[in-house]
Structure 1
Amino acid sequence: MNTEQVISYIKENNIQKVKFAFADIDGILRGKVISTKKFIDGLQDGYGFCDVVFGWDSNDVTYDHVELTGWHSGYPDKQCYIDVATMRNVPWENNIPFFLADYTGPNGDALPACPRSLLKQIVKQCSAMGYHAEFAQEFEWFNFKETPQSLQQKGFANMEPLSPGMFGYSTLRTSQNSAFYYDLFNLLTQFNIPVEGIHTETGPGVYEAAITHSETLDAADKAVLFKTAVKEIAYQHGLTATFMAKWNQNLPGCSGHIHQSLWTSDQTDNLFYDSNDASKMSELHKQYLAGQLYCMPHLLPMYAPTINSYKRLVEGAWAPTTITWGVDNRTTALRVINTSKAYTRLETRIPGSDTNPYLAIAAALASGLYGIKNKMKLDVAPTVGNGYQNKANGSLHANLYDAATAMQNSAIAKELFGEGFVQHFTQTRLWEHRQYAKSVSDWELKRYFESI
């Protein structure tokens, strides 16, 4: 619906309040419920929101060394703007109207730290090049028979999973928890997040879902909302869902793979497909893939944004460690899927479920377009067999500090996303590293407390 239609809907249905939110640098939704009067009054000029939402971390601790905001600026309001095209009703909250917002103003100016605004800029570049991009993100996550209160009381130890054992693709385990399982499918669909399928993965209480592909920004919106929606639906069942990349060293990690393809502007022809090529890949597809391979070490924190991300990116854990690609190869960083023209696409396998979808998708699209703009040759041979052993083109950074430092100093990153975003984002990642570096872990206590 457009603005006029939304206002008419609000008035005709005597709606008294609406809910809106935007994603912060970590992909966490920050928002509020406002009266419909305030909602209508702010549709043109925006809504003031304290910019500390881009000046603190996932635990609401304020960053240091960021220029955008801080004690030095007094944490003023910045204007965010609701995108009325994102309207949907929240079925588990009495169908309250819900909207997504970002920090792109009417004149096109954007706050450098706003992830959705950043992706909108990349999508605009894609359209200007004559392409329509289709994206979808899939997620794995663990579910626990815990509440926020019980997790705090237990100190996040001895947590009870939704179901025991390693039961990938199990119909028994989903039948055992059918009320939650079918609520996920049905309520997500009602919330305008259509999923292609949901099933158990290997691990106690772990599920996987693939979101139906759509236009880039819409796909990112759905991915961001999916994570919060799953958590809120889980709460309705007395459960807690986690999208950590690796919550337990003895269990598989949780992926957030990104699927993508480029089409003609009228969406009639998949430009990644060429029936005459041995791998069914067009030259455009090869250039796009080459761009992702080239930019990968420069943009890794956008795919792997937390300390925990790198606990998943280890050999033999169904997550990549090398700068590689292959056809239908799940050990490489990039997997080409070419089963048919309609479904030919590229899967970026680095992201875990802890990603900020706006940033991960922006990294994938921007680096792919970089390869096309520069007519890059795909001179890296496809990996056949074990991608972990193929280090010919280099390996991914093994920790957040190295990845963030590389991005901070990267001319490529600044060319793709601008100095303002790169400075802010990498400083937030280095802050994350410093918080981790000064913490004392359970591993240290168990190893050193008595014996050292």
Structure 2
Amino acid sequence: MSELTTAPTGAYRLEATNHDGSYLGKNVSADKFASGKDSGFAFADILFAIDLGTEIVLGDAFPEWRGNLYDIALLPDMSTLVQWKPGVDSVIGDFWLKDGTPVPICPRNMVRRLVDRLAGLGYTATVAVEIETTLFEESIQEARARGYRDLTPLGGDTGSTYNLARSQDWIDYMEAVVARLDELGISWEAWTDEAAPGQTELNLAPADPLGVGDAWIRTKQVMREIACARGHSVTFMAKPTAGFGQGAHVNLSLQRDGVNQFYTPDGPSELMLSAIGGLLTTMAGATAVAMPQITSYRRLVDLSGPPTMISWGINNKTAAVRAITGHPKYSRLEYRLPGSDVNPYYALAVVLAGVIAGIERQLPAPDEVTDMAWCLPDDAGVRRIPDTMSKAIAALDADEILREYLGDEFVDFWVASRRWEWMEFHTKGGDPYTELSQWESKRYFEFS
């Protein structure tokens, strides 16, 4: 990290995400940055009222700060300042209102607020994320010309897992990505071949939630830039082809005075069980946030990797929440619900909200699923994860716990925006009866 301690030179890139997780910002001169780094930079609030097709979203009650093209301020967090390339520094910021309060649905500020609430209970969270993405041989320009369809997976058109025998073009791409992350000071732990053709998983190192959210959005941008520079394309769609989907698993542990509070020698601690109770109690409602796009729900197929049941189990990767126990450092929960198209900050926010609710309300964990959690019969006592956007919207709208922890304004806003997304799909060319429609490819390939 660098500090702005001398006369400014070069240019600065302001970075943030909107509700859809799009990577937004402005490029400003050094003088402009110096004049606004403490007071903030003006952005029209319409950025929270347009969809991925640049249509104004209607259907919810716009508050005073949204819908009238008023300015809100992006206030840079100087701890995130890095040199992106020679002559250009970049910095991540949060959105604030004129009265000095945070925009209620600002993704980064939501994480900050929940981290503070957790701290009030005496805990700090350590999180990590596993990012899945799919790489294609074609350039982004050719992908556009093809409507993002019938592309050639980079590294071969057969799928595998952990396969080191991928072709050199796939390996070269991933080596270039992690080299760039090293340059930017983004800590990563591993990358590997994943199940689908052209698919990879990249694991970011554990850190505090805000830091991981920042690293996550920058890692996605790095992967896009490296792909473009090498004449390839990359997508974070939850299901970019008719094959396997791709997720973004969030791992979390809680510490007090540096000691992992999820650890006991003989299984989950009571705190871990409360966290599980909160995560499963809120999972149906959280689905609308963790799986934000139409294509997200095409990923929920039994026996294909993603969870399909609201379930947990010790070291059970077929469950929605996997508990890793018995190790003083590595005991943690793996929240396997989010798709790779999720807004990183919102993903972290719904996980933190569930965990905090479980602790504050002492919510009991349901019975552990000790067998395969896919294809469970109706009489197994385990509910299915909402498998359509409309079901997930209804669950979130009715979830009083998430309304408390995420805020009524966010929930009402998100419900309205997802209803709009559903309507756009059904009125502008989406086809629910295909494995993947042209409408989805065009809308989500580049900006998920």
Q: Kindly indicate whether residue 114 of structure 2 is the aligned counterpart of residue 109 of structure 1.
A: no
Q: Kindly indicate whether residue 280 of structure 2 is the aligned counterpart of residue 293 of structure 1.
A: yes
Give how far 1:119 is off.
1.1
Q: Tell me if the contact between 2:125 and 2:253 (Cα under 8 Å) persists in the aligned partners.
A: yes
Q: Tell me if the contact between 1:51 and 1:69 (Cα under 8 Å) persists in the aligned partners.
A: no
Match of 2:130 among 123, 138, 163: 138
Q: Tell me if the contact between 1:52 and 1:70 (Cα under 8 Å) persists in the aligned partners.
A: no
Residue 325 of structure 1 corresponds to which residue in structure 2?
312
Gaps of 5+ in 1: 447-452
Residue 290 of structure 2 corresponds to which residue in structure 1?
303
Q: CA RMSD in A?
A: 2.2
Give how far 1:400 is off.
0.9
Q: Tell me if the contact between 2:72 and 2:96 (Cα under 8 Å) persists in the aligned partners.
A: no
1:46/1:72 CA distance change after superposition, 3 Å: closer
2:179 is aligned with what amino acid?
N
Q: Kindly indicate whether residue 263 of structure 2 is the aligned counterpart of residue 273 of structure 1.
A: yes
Q: How does 1:220-239 map to 2 (within 5 A)?
A: 220-239=213-232
Match of 2:333 among 346, 371, 395: 346
Q: Tell me if the contact between 1:63 and 1:431 (Cα under 8 Å) persists in the aligned partners.
A: yes
CA distance in 1, matches of 2:336, 2:137: 29
CA distance in 2, matches of 1:121, 1:295: 18
CA distance in 2, matches of 1:20, 1:443: 38
1:436 is aligned with what amino acid?
F
Match of 2:423 among 434, 438, 441: 434
CA distance in 1, matches of 2:63, 2:24: 17
1:197/1:282 CA distance change after superposition, 3 Å: same
SS in 1 for 2:260: coil
Match of 1:61 among 50, 55, 66: 55
Match of 1:156 among 135, 148, 152: 148
What is the number of residues matched between the two proteins? 431
Give how far 1:398 is off.
1.1
1:72/1:85 CA distance change after superposition, 3 Å: closer
Residue by residue, what CA displacement relative to the aligned partner does 1:354-388 show, whole Å, maximum 9, x if unpaired? Answer: 1111111110111111010012222x111112102
1:137/1:176 CA distance change after superposition, 3 Å: same
Residue by residue, what CA displacement relative to the aligned partner does 1:77-105 show, whole Å, maximum 9, x if unpaired? Answer: 11111100111222xx4362111011146
Residue 256 of structure 1 corresponds to which residue in structure 2?
248
CA distance in 1, matches of 2:433, 2:350: 35
Q: Kindly indicate whether residue 346 of structure 2 is the aligned counterpart of residue 363 of structure 1.
A: no
CA distance in 2, matches of 1:72, 1:36: 29
Q: Tell me if the contact between 1:62 and 1:70 (Cα under 8 Å) persists in the aligned partners.
A: no
Residue 445 of structure 2 corresponds to which residue in structure 1?
none
Q: Kindly indicate whether residue 85 of structure 2 is the aligned counterpart of residue 96 of structure 1.
A: no
Identify the range of structure 1 (398-407 vs 358-367) with the bigger mean alpha-carbon deviation: 398-407
Q: Tell me if the contact between 1:257 and 1:347 (Cα under 8 Å) persists in the aligned partners.
A: yes
Match of 1:394 among 372, 383, 395: 383
Residue 14 of structure 2 corresponds to which residue in structure 1?
20
SS in 2 for 1:388: coil
1:444/1:258 CA distance change after superposition, 3 Å: closer
CA distance in 1, matches of 2:274, 2:433: 46
Residue by residue, what CA displacement relative to the aligned partner does 1:139-198 show, whole Å, maximum 9, x if unpaired? Answer: 111101222321222122221111221232222215343432211111012122211011
Give how far 1:392 is off.
1.2
2:203 is aligned with what amino acid?
A
Q: Tell me if the contact between 1:174 and 1:181 (Cα under 8 Å) persists in the aligned partners.
A: no
TM superposition score normalised by structure 1: 0.90
SS in 2 for 1:103: strand
CA distance in 2, matches of 1:95, 1:337: 44
CA distance in 1, matches of 2:16, 2:169: 35
Q: How does 1:183-202 map to 2 (within 5 A)?
A: 183-202=176-195
TM superposition score normalised by structure 2: 0.91
